[in-house]
Amino acid sequence: MEVINQKKIDSSLIPKFKLVNGDEIPAIGLGTFGSDSVYPEAVAKTVKEAVKSGYRHLDCASVYGNEKEIGEAVNELLNEGIVKREELWITSKVWNDMHDRVIESCRQSLADLQLEYLDLFLVHWPFPNHHPPHCDVNSRNPHAKPYIHENYMKTWQQMEKLIEFGLVKNIGTSNMTVPKLKLLLGDCAVKPVCNEMELHPHLQQPDLFEYCLKENIQPIAYSPLGSPGRPERDRTDDDTVDLEDPTILKIAKRMNISTADVAIKWAIQRGQIPIPFSVNHYMDNLNALISGPLTEQDMIDISKIDKGCRLIKGQVFLWKDNQSWEDLWDMSGEITPK
């Protein structure tokens, strides 16, 4: 297979999706979580090189523990004239233990990232608790709490204030479900413009995906390659591997591209924004944009390989003993009673 070896892509070639308010967001971003084994300095170095290579969309979060280092990298890029602030789309998120202090959380992220504003700020998870972000897969915090809509709306009202104060340009959600979004949309003054969610060929979430599109909420896809580098705590025996799927392999062979390229092309052509992370293959992910598109038949074939395989199950947020992680995702179609 011929490997495209390109050190830079003209950022103008990266397509954009238009949000409901008219703002445009690059159709591919660089995730900055990776895994527990990736040090903040390595992530920051990747961010700097990725922006030099053409990336203009950075997906950050306070809980990743690397916003200070990323802020230093972005500041260097701006000072060196590599990129202008208005050319970047930078996202951050409020963590679970700050739901009652959203504005404080946002200001801290801005300080760490050395920015005057964020393009997008998300509620990272709809569960307010103080569970440590890095923990054993089977551990459960005795103070974990379920989704309570009244409390979530108090959080969301603070999110709306961020726009009023000029700290962010857009607000959105993450790890939501259709029932939770319906409640939010029924009560909010400012609608979320994006919902960040796990999306890859083996977890296509068609009901949630289509609901977001219907409500003009742009889907952002984390783990778009099936998260091969996810932490051990998020691995189970039932997990499947997207990039080893026969359908993906067949398309990659025909097009003479990598299986990761196929997954990224599928995501963008479907209408979702992939935010893969890799300290080694970020250019490979960007290169997916410069070869030809998948065919209509390719898209149909990939739609048939959805296995409902959720890789980031969120089990550390469960609030009861002997509880299934499925309760976090309202898989019955209704919000699990508290």
Cβ neighbours for 233, distance < 8 A, ≥ 6 positions apart: 135, 136, 137, 316
Q: What is the pLDDT of residues 64-100, one digit of tens each?
A: 999 999 999 999 999 999 999 999 999 999 999 999 9
Percent residues over pLDDT 70 in the chain = 92
CATH number, domain of 63, equals: 3.20.20.100
Query: Within a domain: residue 254?
Result: yes
Q: Is residue 297 part of a domain?
A: yes
* 2 within domain boundaries: no
- Is residue 259 in some structural domain? yes
Question: Using one digit for the tens of pLDDT, what is the confidence trace for 144-195?
Answer: 889 999 999 999 999 999 999 999 999 999 999 999 999 999 999 999 999 9
- Is the pLDDT score of 132 beyond 60? no
Confidence of residue 109 (pLDDT cuts 50, 70, 90): very high
Report d(CA 40, CA 46) in Å as an integer: 10
Q: How many domains, in total, are found in the chain?
A: 1
Q: Residues for the chain: how many in total?
A: 338
The pLDDT assigned to 237 comes to 81
Share the mean pLDDT of the chain.
Answer: 91
- Ordered DSSP codes for 125-173: -S------SS--TT---TT-----HHHHHHHHHHHHHHHHTTSBS-EEE
Q: What is the pLDDT of residues 235-248, one digit of tens each?
A: 888 899 999 999 99
The reply to whether 291 falls in a domain is yes
Give the model's pLDDT for residue 322. 85
Separation of alpha carbons 330 and 321, rounded Å? 17
Q: How confident is the model at residue 286, as a pLDDT? A: 86
| Domain residue limits at 171 | 11-329
CB 319 within 8 A of CB 142: no
In a domain, 53, yes or no: yes
Q: Is residue 298 part of a domain?
A: yes
Binning pLDDT at 50, 70 and 90, where does residue 315 land?
confident
Domain contains 19: yes
Give the catalytic positions in this structure.
64
Average pLDDT of span 242-270: 97
* Closest alpha carbon to 338 in 320, 317, 314: 320
Share of the chain above pLDDT 90, in %: 75
Across the strands, what pairs with 90? 58
